[in-house]
Structures are given as structure tokens and as C-alpha cells.
């Protein structure tokens, strides 16, 4: 495969995308301008997110997760959509974006006004019970955890960094009290896909259908802010490439999908997407 054209000038991408209908795949790099760090961008520190098997291994792992997430969520829920999110919402309203798939769990696309977003990895603002499967708002759990652990967030929030999944690097979690499901007293888990956990098949099928709706002559797949390191998102880029659909990647740094792209713009998502939204439809 030939290497893509790599440029720091958004103009190359804008020229290729002009007049085309888009399906957009976004990753953590899109939300960095909202103050949410990414996993693998330049300057990012190494992260070791909790795996699904570790989470379900028992109470110690669940206590550690919820203690760290309790602090992280107190920050993450204050994040606002940035110009990149708003640009995609505007492109959707203008009929340019036919579908939006996000690997992010922060809910900022919806907050910016995008409709019909496929949250590939779920939503951090929801909680699911692993026993009765009831889904409830994260805010409800946050209030319960605050009541059970008064002062915990205040004692730790100034010293730690928050990850894209709302995890915070709290080192001492002993004594943190975890809240069970209010309906059945079962184990609560954030309604997101952990590493080692499968994305629901129905969700994957919807994403494939979006990509299959693209036509090489008048459509394109735009990837914004993803290194495509995990197969979860890369598979859709591969599907578009196999179908002959142009692929444009906007990301700071190389990605696993570079050899599948027509153009990669090594620049910030906000500036590139704003420039795209400013062009006449």
C-alpha cells in the first residue's frame, strides 16, 4: 500500500472532502481541547485502564475503580464541547455529515448538538447493573458515593490527572465505600466498554451499515482525533478502504490507519474541523 499524503495544512483534506457527504469517526484527540487528556497523543503519559476481567474479579478492584472514577467524574462532568464538536454538529445540521461514530464516552457530541451519534464504547454518564441490567444516570450514583464517602473528592482532586474514561490517578483507595444497585443490590459498572469487553454486536452492525452507505464517487470517511490503535475503530477504516471510499485522517501523530488513508492532516482537530465547517456546502 502507498503511504498517505501527510501534511500540517488542513487545505489538502478540505479539497478532497469538498462536496462529499461524510461519515465521521472520532477519538479522544477530539476532546483534548475540552480539557480531557487523550490516551496516545504526543506528550500523553502511559495509562493502564482497568480491564473488564479485572473489574469483575471482586470487590477490591471495584472499590479501586469507583474511588478513582468518583474523583474523575467530578471533573469530567464539567467539560464543555469545544470548537471541533460544534463544527461537526454544524456539519450535521447542514446535511454534510450523514453519520457520526465516536469512540469517546464523554457525551460531548450530543452536548454540542449532534444527533444520531453512535457511542461505540458507551457513555460514562450512565451506569449499568451487571445483575439486573438496569441503566441509571451517573449523577445519581455520584450523589450516593458522595454521601458514603464525604470529603473524598476534595481530598484528592487537586493532586491527580483525569483520563479520557473519567479515571483519575488516585493512589490510596482503601476504605472507599462502593454503592450497590439501588434496585437489586447488584454490582454497578459504568455503561462503557472496558478493555477486554466486546462492543455490543448491534452497535457494531450499525457502524458497518453507515460505512457501507458511503459511495466512492461522492462520499468519504473522516477520522478525527484517533490513533486507531485498537481494532474497535480501525475495522471501519479498513471497510471504507476496501470499498474504495476516500479516507481522511486528522490526528496529531501517526496512526495505525495511515496506510489506508488518502490524506492525514497532522494538526489539531478543532482548527481543521472549523475550517471544514466554514466552507460553503
Q: In total, how many domains does the chain have?
A: 1
226 is in an annotated binding site: yes
**What pLDDT sits at residue 44?**
47
**What pLDDT sits at residue 267?**
94
43 is in an annotated binding site: yes
166 is in an annotated binding site: no
Q: What is the pTM of this model?
A: 0.90
78 is in an annotated binding site: no
CATH number at residue 69: 3.40.50.1220
DSSP-assigned states of every residue in the chain: -PPPEEES-THHHHHHHTT-EEEEEE-GGGSGGGT---SSSTTPPP--PPBHHHHTT-HHHHHHHHHHHHHHHHHHTT----HHHHHHHHHHHTT-EEEEEE---S-HHHHHT--SEEETTEEEEEEEETTT--EEEHHHHHHHHHHHSTTHHHHHTTT-PBPTTS-B-----TTPPPPPPTTT---EEEEE--BTSPPPHHHHHHHHHHHHT--TTTEEEEEES----SHHHHHHHHHHHHTT--EEEE-SS--TTGGG-SEEE-S-HHHHHHHHHHS--
**What pLDDT sits at residue 280?**
73
Catalytic one of 70, 109, 121, 191: 121
**What pLDDT sits at residue 204?**
98
Domain span at residue 90 reads 5-278
105 is in an annotated binding site: yes
**What pLDDT sits at residue 162?**
52
* Per-position pLDDT tens, the chain of length 281: 456 678 999 998 999 999 999 999 999 999 999 988 765 555 545 456 789 999 999 999 999 999 988 888 877 888 999 999 999 999 999 999 999 999 999 999 999 999 999 999 999 999 999 999 999 999 999 999 999 999 887 776 555 555 545 554 555 677 899 999 999 999 999 999 998 999 999 999 999 999 999 999 999 999 999 999 999 999 999 999 999 999 999 999 999 999 999 999 999 999 999 999 998 76
| Catalytic residue flag (residue 121) | yes
Amino acid at each position: 500500500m502507498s503511504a498517505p499524503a501527510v501534511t500540517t495544512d488542513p487545505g489538502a483534506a478540505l479539497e478532497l472532502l469538498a462536496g462529499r457527504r461524510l461519515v465521521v469517526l472520532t477519538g479522544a484527540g477530539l476532546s483534548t481541547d475540552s480539557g480531557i487528556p487523550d490516551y496516545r497523543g504526543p506528550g500523553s503519559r502511559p495509562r493502564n485502564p482497568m480491564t473488564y476481567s479485572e473489574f469483575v474479579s471482586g470487590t477490591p478492584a471495584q472499590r479501586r475503580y469507583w474511588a478513582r472514577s468518583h474523583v474523575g467524574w467530578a471533573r469530567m462532568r464539567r467539560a464543555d464541547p469545544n470548537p471541533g464538536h460544534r463544527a461537526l454538529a454544524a456539519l450535521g445540521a447542514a446535511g454534510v455529515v450523514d453519520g457520526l461514530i465516536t469512540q469517546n464516552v464523554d457525551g460531548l457530541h450530543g452536548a454540542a448538538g449532534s444527533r444520531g451519534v453512535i457511542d461505540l464504547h458507551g457513555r460514562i454518564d450512565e451506569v449499568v447493573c451487571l445483575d439486573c441490567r438496569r441503566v441509571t444516570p451517573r449523577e445519581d450514583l455520584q450523589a450516593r458515593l458522595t454521601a458514603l464517602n464525604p470529603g473524598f473528592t476534595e481530598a484528592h482532586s487537586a493532586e491527580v490527572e483525569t483520563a479520557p474514561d473519567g479515571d483519575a490517578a488516585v493512589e490510596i483507595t482503601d476504605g472507599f465505600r462502593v454503592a450497590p444497585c439501588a434496585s437489586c443490590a447488584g454490582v454497578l459498572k459504568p455503561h462503557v466498554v472496558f478493555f477486554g469487553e466486546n462492543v455490543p454486536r448491534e452497535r457494531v452492525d450499525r457502524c458497518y451499515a453507515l460505512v457501507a452507505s458511503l459511495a466512492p464517487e461522492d462520499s468519504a470517511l473522516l477520522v478525527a482525533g484517533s490513533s486507531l490503535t485498537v481494532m474497535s475503530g480501525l475495522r471501519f477504516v479498513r471497510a471504507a478502504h476496501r470499498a474504495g471510499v476516500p479516507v481522511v485522517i486528522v490526528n496529531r501523530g501517526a496512526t495505525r490507519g495511515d496506510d489506508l488513508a488518502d490524506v492525514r492532516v497532522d494538526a489539531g482537530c478543532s482548527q481543521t474541523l472549523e475550517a471544514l465547517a466554514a466552507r460553503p456546502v
